Amino acid sequence: MPIDVKKGQMLIRKIQYLLDGLELNAAEISSIEKDLMMGYISSLYELFLFDDSSGQPVAAVEVKPKPKVVPVTNEVREVVPPKPSVKPKPEPKPQPEPVVQPEPVVVKEPPVVSRPVIEKPAKPRVHPDHEPLFAFKKATDLSEKLRERPVSDLNKAFAINDRLLTISKLFDGDDKVFKEVIGDLNRLSSFDDAKIYLSSKVVDKYNWASKARSKTAKIFIQTVSRRYL
């Protein structure tokens, strides 16, 4: 039986490939790699076991495996110095939190505004010296009672002669002033207001309290009082 050279070459290549791998990692050969190597060698051995001419099996040649060369590695052990024992630092005692005092609330009081005391003006009154001009006797006879009848307009209350006499004696003959005074008195609502008006603006100005004019002034004032009856 002829030898299958191609098969033998293939087995040799496999053995060589496996040897190359073992050379790179000789320290760690796995059982699988050992089995593969033995299988390749056994197959190669069987391939050359029979002779071409006789067909008899060739005497088995004991193939002694080469002794494994274990590379001597001088292991350099790194001496790790013992770590110095470090005593744990005691934890700092918790410091009490500072008590924050709240700032005092300043309540601003509104400034006290002193209000000025407004004095009420004194109610105008009739001057004491003028009081006799406004004092009338109660009418007793018919003619006096007729003179006390109410009138709505003082312009119509004076007859022509009385009007001329009044202007002459009480207003120094000034007809314009007489008309202004009559107009002011017509607009007043009470005899009290009329007395205050005459006392403050007319009596002293034209000297009605004098002996020469007081009688005529009383007659004029009595006629004026009828406007407010």
Q: What is the pLDDT of residues 107-165, one digit of tens each?
A: 777 777 677 766 666 677 888 889 999 988 776 666 666 677 889 999 998 899 999 99
Among the listed residues 119, 120, 122, the one whose alpha carbon sits nearest the alpha carbon of residue 200: 122
Q: What per-residue confidence (pLDDT) applies to 63?
A: 45
Instruction: List the domain boundaries for the chain.
Output: 1-67, 128-228
Most distant CA pair in the chain, distance: 204
pLDDT tens track for 179-192: 999 999 999 999 99
Q: What per-residue confidence (pLDDT) applies to 9?
A: 86
- 61 pLDDT higher than 50: no
Indicate the pLDDT class of residue 86, thresholds 50, 70 and 90: low
- Separation between Cα atoms, residue 152 and residue 167, nearest integer Å: 21
Indicate the pLDDT class of residue 173, thresholds 50, 70 and 90: very high
Is the whole-model pTM more than 0.85?
no
Indicate the pLDDT class of residue 51, thresholds 50, 70 and 90: very low
pLDDT tens track for 198-214: 999 999 999 999 999 99
- Separation between Cα atoms, residue 97 and residue 102, nearest integer Å: 15
Q: What per-residue confidence (pLDDT) applies to 36?
A: 84
- Separation between Cα atoms, residue 156 and residue 163, nearest integer Å: 10
Does residue 139 contact residue 226 with C-beta atoms inside 8 Å?
no
Task: Tell me, rounded to whole angstroms, the distance of Cα 199 from its chain centroid.
Answer: 66
